[in-house]
Structure 1
């Protein structure tokens, strides 16, 4: 009897603590992508302390992973929240952690024939499923979205285009182009363009397109993407970006704008439209709060310059966005900023 009582006490005690739920989720939206993106994906869900014992409803933060950033980053979030609790700040929110990886390492969280319909996955599948399965405060003023790098780009796009769903957005070092940014990006790498052109030519005449893509993408998997040199990682990024933003029914990977200048607006749109959206007062007015952080020496110079160009336009148009330009590069202080800036931002607003 004593053993049974002890076990029950241990179980009850464990349920009082915050926990990460790791949930496989099958997405119809991601089925049948050209490159074979995995349609059953892990979602990590942080449930705050006491969730299992209460009838309370909680605000929700959606956190989007970066390009080639696996879902295991949820371990960092759990530690960050524990640190806040130890310092007397118990953050009572549900956090839903998603990643946008594909065989090309990044989907940019948009709908595309190449990667799959990632926007539909997040907006039409995951969000209503979370609200039906967990006790959420299912309104925009209690729902936020955030992300780092590619995740920051996705968060900004989701919020601007779905203000009825997300009231608050925070982006750390988001991919962003000003008018000169695309010319400074990996999309202009001669080696990457050459490989992209050769791959598309082979794919167009292939009897087994899946075999061609599997062979082409083999050097992009795991650490191989970095171990095979800069040209290899540039090629992966160019192909991923092209598949997300430049494709059409006849050319799913698009046509490079150096070959056909008429295609340039499609290539620019992926990162460039964010400046147009967030310098427009009527767009930002629909959101309760917007914050963008960026390093002043981002490794990807177009990100620093893009965010600073947006800051200038937003201030000129009197658009209420908070910018924080810190000293450092792309990944410098990323975890610290998530812990000490992002989480408090949402804790104060949701």
Structure 2
């Protein structure tokens, strides 16, 4: 790793303009996952115009990609930053872009046997590596985290659980449950549950589990996850969610709450605990700023209702959370909102 860092610094020293540095990073935390998540992952890092011509230290924004977003989305972020510069808006910060893809298309950025230890990957590997490799302002008040959809959920969880690392958080359309949310979600899809149950039974009976998983997950790769119909995409998401939040040592993919009601809290916790976390004054008081945006007609209705439930409870407690409820669905103008809401939010606060 020290050799890699030296090569990077020598390369960067010859660059005199803003750029995205693309670095393959091999993670110990992601090795040996049950489903074969890649341990070597691309990390994309945006460096400001004058990074190589000054000795200035910069605040850092970490951006987490959504479910099934490849790392190439960083090209959109680069264009957003360039647009701001053309308009005379300075964006003097380092932006670190990460993705959470796995063979099930999404890790939710938590530690799990199924996907790998994504929380450790971010907190124990990436953040220290960025601070040791680049000239950063390595304090929570100068470090923010953001994300869209699954990335927004991950950003909220990271900030709430680690306010000494991330002082500011922005989430766009994050997965979130109120008390009724899980019952309205894909987690209750009959077709997805049926496929999930059949997969678990086949996996338990097999002497070649890796082969079973490769065959089962084949229809989840690339565009096929969407092109094979809603039942296919819901099945992938249910399995990914189960592996992230409902797994146990005996049952890494969990036991569905329709089969064992005692498992319901595990399934609910993934999206449900966010309301509890962000209505806990002791947590909010440790953070410098929190902002959440959601469409009033999100394609996943439980997301709109979950965020609105949080907004109501936060306002009742006079907690300093800010919200923006816009007209639209889950992905409506997502890139525009990241450009015109997220980036100015951090440019002002970091």
Category of TM-score, reference length = shorter chain: over 0.9
Aligned to 1:212: 212
Aligned to 1:258: 258
Structure 1 residues 96-107: aligned runs within 5 Å: 96-107=96-107
> Whole-Å Cα distance in 2 between the matches of residues 94 and 161 of structure 1?
23
> Whole-Å Cα distance in 2 between the matches of residues 244 and 13 of structure 1?
40
Q: SS state of the match for residue 15, structure 1?
A: coil
Q: CA deviation at 1:282?
A: 1.2
Structure 2 regions of 5+ residues with no counterpart? 1-10
Aligned to 2:125: 125
TM-score by length of 1: 0.96
Structure 1 regions of 5+ residues with no counterpart? 1-10
Q: SS state of the match for residue 207, structure 2?
A: coil
Aligned to 1:143: 143
> Whole-Å Cα distance in 1 between the matches of residues 74 and 12 of structure 2?
24
Structure 1 residues 229-248: aligned runs within 5 Å: 229-248=229-248
> Whole-Å Cα distance in 2 between the matches of residues 147 and 286 of structure 1?
20
Max Rg structure: 1
> Whole-Å Cα distance in 1 between the matches of residues 187 and 307 of structure 2?
19
| Structure 1 ranges of 4+ moved more than 3 A | 11-14
Q: Deviations over 1:289-330 (max 9, x none)?
A: 000000000000000000000000111111110000000000
Q: CA deviation at 1:13?
A: 12
Is the aligned partner of 1:290 residue 2:255?
Answer: no
Aligned to 2:316: 316
> Whole-Å Cα distance in 1 between the matches of residues 324 and 38 of structure 2?
36
Aligned to 2:5: none
Q: SS state of the match for residue 124, structure 2?
A: helix
* Maintained 8 Å contact 2:45/2:95: yes
Q: SS state of the match for residue 157, structure 1?
A: helix
> Whole-Å Cα distance in 1 between the matches of residues 52 and 168 of structure 2?
26
Aligned to 1:4: none
> Whole-Å Cα distance in 1 between the matches of residues 223 and 15 of structure 2?
37
Q: CA deviation at 1:12?
A: 11
* Maintained 8 Å contact 1:58/1:93: yes
> Whole-Å Cα distance in 1 between the matches of residues 87 and 17 of structure 2?
16
> Whole-Å Cα distance in 2 between the matches of residues 180 and 12 of structure 1?
51
Q: SS state of the match for residue 126, structure 1?
A: helix
Aligned to 1:77: 77
TM-score by length of 2: 0.96
Structure 1 residues 1-350: aligned runs within 5 Å: 15-350=15-350
Q: SS state of the match for residue 323, structure 1?
A: strand
Q: Deviations over 1:101-135 (max 9, x none)?
A: 00000000000000000000000000000000000
* Maintained 8 Å contact 2:58/2:92: yes
Q: SS state of the match for residue 96, structure 1?
A: strand
